[in-house]
């Protein structure tokens, strides 16, 4: 089983994560022919990325070698990919074929649970409003000492 581009040699994968990932490496397997991707561009934290968005500068780019067995691992810049919640992988070209085929994409890294903070609504009182602090009437009494 494989994924093959339909119209030209470009392929784009959007991979959302359920937590935060420290991405350390990527493995790409293709055929040992001209349909193997020749270049890989990584983008982090751009949900719903399209081919139009792929024209921007990638976070990291790799020139790929033909790897039908998945033995080559491409290391990422860990400082740049240490807090990834969405990964987009763009394959802009291959080794000369009209379409690109990919059999496997492996991601190596560490996953941590996402810390999501709910919105907290707080009311703070800058100065006291006497109407908010009603007290029972105090009747003044005077005491005389004779």
Residues 38-51 pLDDT 10s: 999 999 999 999 99
Structure tokens at 120: 């907290």
Q: For residue 135, is it within any domain?
A: no
Q: For residue 15, is it within any domain?
A: yes
Cα angle 83-86-91, degrees, rounded to a multiple of 5:
115
Q: Distance between CA atoms of 130 and 122, rounded to whole angstroms?
A: 20
Structure tokens at 137: 């009437």
**pLDDT band, residue 7 (cuts 50/70/90):** confident
CATH of the domain at 10: 2.60.120.470
For all residues of the chain together, what is the average pLDDT?
A: 88
Q: For residue 141, is it within any domain?
A: no
Q: For residue 129, is it within any domain?
A: no
Q: What is the arithmetic mean of pLDDT over 36-63?
A: 95
Domain with 95, as residue range(s), is 3-113
Give me the residues paired with residue 128 across strands: none
Structure tokens at 83: 């807090």
Q: pLDDT tens for residues 79-95?
A: 999 999 999 999 999 99
Structure tokens at 19: 């937590």
Q: For residue 62, is it within any domain?
A: yes
Query: How far is it between the farthest Cα atoms of the chain?
Result: 116
Give me the residues paired with residue 84 across strands: 21
**94 burial type by CB count under 10 A (0-12 exposed, 13-18 middle, 19+ buried):** buried
Q: For residue 108, is it within any domain?
A: yes
Q: For residue 131, is it within any domain?
A: no
pTM: 0.77
Q: For residue 121, is it within any domain?
A: no
Domain count, the chain: 1
Q: What is the arithmetic mean of pLDDT over 134-140?
A: 62
């Amino acid at each position: 089983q494989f994924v093959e581009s339909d119209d030209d040699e470009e392929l784009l994968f959007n991979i959302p994560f359920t937590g935060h990932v420290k991405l350390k490496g990527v493995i790409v397997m293709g055929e040992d022919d001209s349909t193997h991707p020749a270049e890989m561009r990584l983008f982090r934290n751009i949900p719903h990325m399209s081919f139009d968005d792929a024209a921007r500068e990638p976070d990291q780019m790799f020139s790929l070698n033909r790897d039908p067995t998945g033995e080559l691992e491409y290391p990422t810049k860990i400082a740049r990919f240490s807090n990834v919640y969405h990964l987009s992988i763009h394959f802009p070209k291959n080794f000369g074929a009209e379409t690109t085929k990919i059999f496997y994409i492996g991601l190596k890294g560490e996953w941590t649970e996402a810390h999501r903070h709910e919105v907290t609504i707080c009311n703070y009182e800058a100065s006291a409003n006497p109407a908010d602090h009603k007290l029972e009437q105090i009747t003044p009494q005077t005491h005389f000492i004779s």
